[in-house]
Amino acid sequence: MIFQYLPEPIDDLLSVLGYWDLMLSGFIMTMWLYGIALLMGFIIGLSFAIFRQYGGWILSRIATAYIELIRGTPLLAQLFLFYFLPYSLRIPIVKWNYGINFVLFGKDISIILLNHRVLVGIITLSLNSSAYQAEYFRGAILSIGTEQLIAALPKYTVVVYFIGVLELFAQAHNIVAYTFVSLLTYIIVAIIFLVLITTISKGLDYIYKRTSIPGL
């Protein structure tokens, strides 16, 4: 009989945590995408909400079409459209990178904050966020609070993994490739997302309660 070696759970955990630098860089990238997409989504969403409400016949129809188009199509499809469209149109893509490098506890950490792929991810997430925020500004959606979508936005950033952006989920995939420990790695990543989203949600609930007008 051939006995298969089964690693101890503690050994697996230590093996995965040994790549904490990749998780940290992935977390920073996730928060970077979240922050920019939320800010840009707010600006664009507010503009389209005003257009839809007060823009007259033409601007109102344009805003409505934009909101329904973005909300009615899959986020991943939007991502692939913006990513592959320049290649389909034979538009040359210049390779460029802007990032940060630092050393933490003896680990060299490099994070690419902006390049062509990250830019596509930011544009896609911002437009998707803006369509929902535009509706919240109009008060058209009553079944889900604004703070719930804002809090949940970080988990939607994982789609940029499919175009090669090294956010948290992509770094988890790299850790699995290094350690061959898949289940525990993704459990840890899931816990990170759970804690992150719960923290943001609780924070927004607190802000809402402190700033809300009684009776509204």
The percent of residues in the chain predicted with pLDDT above 90, rounded, is 35
How far is residue 18's CA from residue 69's CA, in Å, rounded to a whole number? 44
At 98 the pLDDT is: 92
3-state secondary structure of 215: coil
Whether 213 is in a domain gets the answer no
Whether 48 is in a domain gets the answer yes
Spatial contact of 76 and 159, defined as CB atoms under 8 Å apart: yes
Amino acid symbol at 75: L
**pLDDT for residue 2 is more than 60:** no
CATH code where residue 157 lies: 1.10.3720.10
Among candidate residues 175, 118, 187, 127, the one with its CA nearest the CA of residue 153: 127
Tell me the average pLDDT across 179-186: 88
Amino acid symbol at 210: R
- How confident is the model over 103-113, as pLDDT tens digits? 999 999 999 99
How far is residue 162's CA from residue 76's CA, in Å, rounded to a whole number? 9
Q: Token pair for residue 97?
A: 């990178």
Helix (H) or strand (E) holding 186: helix 182-211
How far is residue 27's CA from residue 165's CA, in Å, rounded to a whole number? 12
Question: Which residue reads 């544009």 in tokens?
Answer: 123
Among candidate residues 52, 14, 36, 15, the one with its CA nearest the CA of residue 165: 36
Mean pLDDT value across the chain: 83
Whether 152 is in a domain gets the answer yes
- How confident is the model over 141-170, as pLDDT tens digits? 434 455 555 666 777 777 887 878 888 888
How far is residue 186's CA from residue 106's CA, in Å, rounded to a whole number? 25
At 137 the pLDDT is: 78
Confidence band of 215 (pLDDT split at 50, 70, 90): very low
Whether 210 is in a domain gets the answer no
Among candidate residues 162, 185, 160, the one with its CA nearest the CA of residue 172: 185
Whether 212 is in a domain gets the answer no
In degrees rounded to 5, what are phi and psi of residue 109? -115, 125
At 194 the pLDDT is: 85
At 117 the pLDDT is: 92
Whether 109 is in a domain gets the answer yes
More confident residue, 66 or 204: 66
Question: Which residue reads 């499919």 in tokens?
Answer: 162
- How confident is the model over 24-80, as pLDDT tens digits? 999 999 999 999 999 999 999 989 988 888 878 899 899 999 999 998 888 989 999
How far is residue 69's CA from residue 168's CA, in Å, rounded to a whole number? 28
Owning domain of residue 127 = 9-205
Question: Which residue reads 């940290």 in tokens?
Answer: 24
At 139 the pLDDT is: 67
Count of domains for the chain: 1
The percent of residues in the chain predicted with pLDDT above 70, rounded, is 85
Whether 177 is in a domain gets the answer yes
